[in-house]
Structure 1
Amino acid sequence: MATLPEDPSSPIGEDDRETAMRRLQEAYAEGHISHQALDEGLDQVLTARTGAELAVPLASLPRERPPTTSTIAAASGRIRRRGVWQVPRVLKVASAFGKVNLDLSRAVIEHPVVDIELQLGTGRAKITVPRDAIVDFGDLHTGWKDVRYRPRQPSRPGGPRIRITGAMGFGRLRIRHARR
């Protein structure tokens, strides 16, 4: 996926133009802009020569959403996500040998349901979910050890549902709720 040029005075390429047209079309399909605004925006995009001219029709659009599916893979070593990060609708995590640590406690979760698909050979995995999350791991297949999880009552309604699926060979998955 192409990104728009950082320098507003730089000339734009066809990839920049296509990205801008796609963003306008998505905004129209999601009901954020009218048909007339779409036509005007596309006209501006097609005639734009610089990054500044291209930014004008995109200025009023909502920020771009992250991809709905993302994959994190490593042959060995550590996979770690923590702090503030954008959680996609579907997150695929694959590791042959190593540790996985996913901390969703401060992550930005925009979807009511998040699917985490684990494909792990050996090694441990630890997933920290938000305090009010509902966790479902019934479709996770483990080869050697079981899953450690102590469910808690959600502190407030409306928390995300975290569904964990996939397969783990020789390792243990530990799921815990954030304390705050």
Structure 2
Amino acid sequence: MNAQAGGPDHRPPPISDDDRDTAVRRLQEAYAEGHITHEELDDRLHQVLTAKTHGELASALASLPEENAGTTSTIAAVGGRIQRRGAWRVPRSLTVASALGRVHLDLSRAVIDHPVVDIELRLGTGGAKITVPRDAIVDIEGLHTEWKAPLYTTRRRSRPSGPRIRISGTLGLGRLKIRHARH
């Protein structure tokens, strides 16, 4: 017999390190912009670091202003191709969602204003190709694949001066290919 949502066997998903990191970053930004005092920052950081549920995490962020629209973006499509290339501005956090179709993100000529960029993939059927800057550092530890493992080879001579690209999320029937730009 299956447990229904809200039943005795239903457990909310655990808080991930990324959830905590995002909450800490939002608190630091709110403090830096003068929205909360130093004491409020200390109290809320303690709440974030000891939170056991997403509700507790959310209460620590209550009353903060919305995140800057330029730092978070979502690209979504049911089918077809999602593509970004050329000189486009990469947000701090990007979610790409597609039920059917392919995704191609080319960051090689993109404007990247942040030292860390989080890309969350929510893909059903169809592959994804991501081209990162030559000196980028890529982290795919948060990515869960259901069919084929990602194709990515770490660059031997990556300079630590490049942006850190963290790729997470889920990839259904398809493969993620990541490559570094040649120029």
TM-score (structure 2 length as normaliser):
0.62
Following superposition, the deviation at residue 154 of structure 1 comes to 4.2
Superposed counterparts of 1:39-58, under 5 Å: none
Q: In structure 2, do the counterparts of structure 1 residues 85 and 66 end up closer, same or farther at CA, with 3 Å as the change threshold?
A: farther
Which residue pairs with 1:109 in the alignment? 112
- Root-mean-square deviation (CA, aligned residues, Å) is 1.9
Amino acid corresponding to residue 156 of structure 1 in structure 2: R
**Unaligned 5+ residue runs, structure 1?**
1-25, 31-64
Say whether the 8 Å CA contact 1:143–1:169 is kept in structure 2: yes
Following superposition, the deviation at residue 139 of structure 1 comes to 1.0
Which residue pairs with 2:76 in the alignment? 73
Which residue pairs with 2:98 in the alignment? 95
Q: What is the CA–CA distance in structure 1 between the aligned matches of 2:132 and 2:157, rounded to whole Å? A: 11
1:177 is matched with which residue: 170, 177, 180? 180
Say whether the 8 Å CA contact 1:131–1:154 is kept in structure 2: no
Percent identical pairs in the alignment equals: 68
Amino acid corresponding to residue 103 of structure 1 in structure 2: D
Which residue pairs with 1:145 in the alignment? 148
- Structure with bigger gyration radius: 1
Secondary structure of 2:141 counterpart = coil
Secondary structure of 2:167 counterpart = strand
Q: What is the CA–CA distance in structure 2 between the aligned matches of 1:66 and 1:128, rounded to whole Å? A: 24
Number of residue pairs matched by the alignment? 120
Amino acid corresponding to residue 156 of structure 2 in structure 1: Q
TM-score (structure 1 length as normaliser):
0.63
1:121 is matched with which residue: 113, 120, 124? 124
Which residue pairs with 2:6 in the alignment? none
1:164 is matched with which residue: 158, 164, 167? 167
Secondary structure of 1:102 counterpart = strand
**Unaligned 5+ residue runs, structure 2?**
1-29, 35-67
